[in-house]
Copies of this chain bind each other. A is one copy, B any other.
Amino acid sequence: MSGSKKSPAVDEHADLWLSPDELSSWLSVVRLVTRLPWAIDTQLQRDAGLSMIEYQTMAMLSETPGQTLRMSLLAEQTSTSLSRLSHLVKRLESRDYVRREPDPADGRFTNAILLPDGLQALQAAAPAHVAYVRHLVVDNLTPERLRRMGQDAERILGRIDSPAR
């Protein structure tokens, strides 16, 4: 309203707003984090009746000695709250894929254990899941760009997990 002077609201945050290039890249990242989990979930549900996080949970169990992990550690590693993980594991229990028991080493903790039916379901789901991950991401980027995307993801995760904020 007064010549070249911008409104106070704009001035106050003049260095804050994203440039058009920054905004465009950020909105691509927003679409990726919205759509990629949806795409992976859709494929896994259709082919194996599993969500991405159910698959990740069972895959993690399958790779540990005794196919056993503490629920709290599993929650941390799958970036899930303990209460959401409990619901999820209850669903997997009802299908005999997983069972829970008190940690023999310390009864205050609960362990989740992958059962033979769960391992079988995981092995049956894996080929189509991995093929889809290759199609969408791994074979769609050069090895160098995939590596960078992983590194940049870790940089962002580092700030998310930092208690500084």
Contacts from A to B (Cβ < 8 Å): 9, 12-13, 16-18, 21-22, 24-26, 28-39, 52-53, 56, 78-80, 123, 126-127, 130-138, 140-141, 143, 145-157, 159-161, 165
Tell me the bound Cα distance from A153 to B146 in angstroms: 11
Number of copies: 2
Q: A16-B130, A34-B79, A79-B35 are in contact. Are A26 and B150 (CB under 8 A)?
A: yes
- Please give, as numbers and ranges, the residues of chain B lying within 8 Å of A29 by CB-CB distance: 36, 137, 149-150, 153
Inter-chain contact A148/B145, CB cutoff 8 Å: yes
- Contact with A28, one of B18, B38, B127, B153 (Cβ below 8 angstroms): B153
Inter-chain contact B79/A31, CB cutoff 8 Å: yes
Please, could you name 10 A-B residue pairs with CB atoms under 8 Å apart, sorted by A? A25-B138, A26-B137, A26-B146, A29-B36, A29-B137, A31-B157, A33-B36, A34-B78, A136-B159, A141-B152
- Please give, as numbers and ranges, the residues of chain B lying within 8 Å of A32 by CB-CB distance: 33, 153, 156-157
